[in-house]
Amino acid sequence: MGREGLPDEVLHAALAKAIAEGRVSVFLETARLNTPRSPVFRISDTVAPLVMLGSLSLLTLLFFGLIAGMAAMVATVLYQLLLHRHVVTQLLLARTLTLAARGAHAWEVLWTFGGVGLTLRDLPEIGCLAPRGDWRKFVGLYVMREERTEKPPEPAPVERKRERQATTERQPEPAVVDTPEARAARRAARRAQKRTEKQ
């Protein structure tokens, strides 16, 4: 049972729906998740491409000569420097989203391990970082509140005219919670964005 008084399954279903609809963004700490203890780690992501490209370079050197072999080795090094980290990050993100959609228990295992965070797409300063942040509270406060807010029915033409003539009060801006977890989530999101821009 979550802190919001709802079962974890209900909160997780709301979170999974928000992620699928793009209302909530998921960001990763690649260095933490790309370790053998991580539930989304696969050694093949890190080792297999390099072994395959290295072997291909040696075969090229043996069968096609020195120049072709050196060119293949340069291509392998460039892949390692420029593309490999981005490819590993995308594979980790895909597996993380798959695990997140699998169920509340799988999501709790991933959250307890850490290396993942959540932010609102429209208000990126509001976020939650694993494992210290409370994802249940985040979902209850921000995600489910958006679902409970229903759009009013479309007014008739006469009502629209009256609405334009009447003065309406401005809705208050949503409160921004500035907690240590939110600040940590913002810093992690900025670091992830910088790494993505560099790649």
Q: Side by side, which strands form the sheet with 24-28?
A: 24-28, 116-120, 127-129
CA dist 164 and 12 (Å) reads: 41
Residue 182 lies in a domain: yes
pTM recorded for the entire structure: 0.60
CB count within 10 Å of CB 95 equals 18
Q: What residues are paired with 25 via a beta bridge? A: 119
Domain that holds residue 89: 8-150+175-198
* Residue 61 confidence (pLDDT): 87
CB count within 10 Å of CB 168 equals 7
Residue 101 lies in a domain: yes
Residue 156 lies in a domain: no
* Residue 158 confidence (pLDDT): 45
Confidence of residue 172 (pLDDT cuts 50, 70, 90): very low
Span 14-71, pLDDT tens digits: 998 998 898 999 988 888 888 888 888 888 888 888 888 888 888 998 888 889 888 9
Residue 176 DSSP one-character state: P
Residue 167 lies in a domain: no
Residue 159 lies in a domain: no
Residue 1 lies in a domain: no
How many domains are there within the chain? 1
CA dist 118 and 29 (Å) reads: 12
Span 59-77, pLDDT tens digits: 998 888 889 888 988 988 8
Confidence of residue 165 (pLDDT cuts 50, 70, 90): low
Q: What residues are paired with 119 via a beta bridge? A: 25, 127
* Residue 100 confidence (pLDDT): 82
Residue 168 lies in a domain: no
In 3D, which of 50, 58, 111 has the Cα closest to residue 84? Answer: 50
Residue 76 lies in a domain: yes
CA dist 13 and 19 (Å) reads: 10
Distances (CA, A) of 128 to 28, 63, 192: 12, 54, 15
